[in-house]
């Protein structure tokens, strides 16, 4: 039971940090622009990147849980959930060695496209350097 709670807490922490907190920081760093003037092309590209990045990240987490028999969550050098037990070279790992990070970067790139300002760039870079 304790392990299950720790796993759930790890997923919630990761989701809040990468899906909510970082985009909010990026929006605030950009000066909180009104977003009603976004064009159709930029809106489409934003949506495509957002869905693609989240899909790749979720696919990686599910694959890691069932094939690797573990979880990805490690926060600032502390294990939040147990690490995988098996090396994974198929599924999303056939694409590259760290598909979860790739998915997260693509998702955060969607906010750079959406907000379209250089002030949004340092937040994802800083997050990836700290991870």
pLDDT of residue 84: 77
Helix (H) / strand (E) containing 50: helix 40-66
Residue 41 pLDDT class (50, 70, 90 cuts): very high
Better-scored residue on pLDDT, 81 or 101: 101
pLDDT of residue 51 exceeding 80: yes
pLDDT of residue 114 exceeding 70: yes
Residue 7 makes CB contacts below 8 A (sequence gap 6+) with: 71, 73, 81, 82
| Number of other CB atoms surrounding residue 2 within 10 Å | 6
3-state secondary structure of 12: helix
The pLDDT tens digits for 16-31 are 888 888 888 888 888 8
Extents of the domains making up the chain: 2-130
Residue 12 pLDDT class (50, 70, 90 cuts): confident
Instruction: Name the range with the highest mean pLDDT among 59-73, 97-111, 114-128.
Output: 97-111
CA distances from 33 to 62, 116, 120 (A): 35, 10, 12
Q: What percent of the chain has pLDDT over 90?
A: 24
d(CA 53, CA 4): 26
């Amino acid at each position: 039971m304790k392990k299950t709670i720790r796993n759930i807490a790890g997923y919630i922490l990761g989701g809040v940090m990468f899906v909510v907190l970082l985009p909010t920081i990026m929006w605030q760093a950009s000066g909180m622009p009104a977003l009603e003037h976004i064009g159709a092309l930029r809106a489409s590209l934003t949506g495509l990147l957002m869905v693609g990045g989240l899909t790749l990240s979720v696919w990686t987490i599910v694959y890691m849980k069932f094939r690797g028999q573990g979880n990805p969550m490690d926060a600032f050098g502390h294990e939040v959930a147990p690490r995988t037990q098996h090396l994974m070279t198929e599924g999303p790992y056939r694409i590259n060695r760290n598909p979860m990070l790739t998915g997260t970067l693509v998702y955060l790139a969607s906010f750079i496209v959406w907000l379209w300002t250089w002030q949004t760039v340092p937040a994802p870079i800083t997050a990836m350097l700290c991870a």
